[in-house]
Amino acid sequence: MLRFRDAAVTDADAHALLADYFGERAAGFPPEQGVYRPTFPAPEQFVAPAGVFLVVEEVEVVEEVEEVEEVDEGRVAEDGAGPVPVGCGGVRRIAPSPEGLVRYEVKHLWLRPAARGHGEGKRLLAELERRAIDFGAEELVLDTNASLEAAGGLYRSAGYVSIEPYNDNPNATNWYGKRVR
């Protein structure tokens, strides 16, 4: 079972997940586009109500264990095995759209390979969208690279449409947006 935990981008789990994400992106970055340039997010941009950063954790469901201790919202066996970080993502407020809409940007949505293919990316995206709407978002935007075909498919299936570039991210080739209000 996966759950979402609010975390600072400087949290050890968040930092490790971002490092793994950037490493995977660098390894798979199309050579004809140059060198992947990772940028760790600024912590203050992911603090409510300006934004939020989530760590996705796999929580072992314990059913018939005699001695169990509570850890946060999950339960773990007495041997100390706890939640395992398997992904991350965030939203942050950016400059308004040209039409004056309150914009939030989806950033660094990523799951470890073993956590992919079960609809968890869609769940994470929906949770990030919900949080942004709660903060007052009227439009959500994101950028990605065309080489990330599954990501593009996820965004399109969630109602995102191609938009003109709203930033100068050297790693991006595709920009998407979605009105939420």
Residue 70 has pLDDT above 50, yes or no: no
pLDDT for 63 equals 62
Average pLDDT, the chain: 92
Three-class SS state of 84: strand
Alpha-carbon dihedral angle through residues 143, 134, 180, 151, given to the nearest 10 degrees? 30
Of 76, 78, 81, 79, whose CA–CA distance to 61 is shortest? 76
The CATH classification number of 2-179 equals 3.40.630.30
pLDDT digits (tens, 9 = 90+) for 5-30: 999 999 999 999 999 999 999 999 99
Contact between 97 and 139 (Cβ < 8 Å): yes
Q: In terms of C-beta density within 10 A (0-12 exposed, 13-18 middle, 19 or more buried), how is residue 41 classed?
A: middle
Q: Could you tell me the residue ranges of all domains in the chain?
A: 2-179
pLDDT digits (tens, 9 = 90+) for 134-173: 999 999 999 999 999 999 999 999 999 999 999 999 999 9
* Confidence (pTM): 0.89
Question: Span 81-90, mean pLDDT?
Answer: 94
The residue whose two tokens read 């995977």 is 24
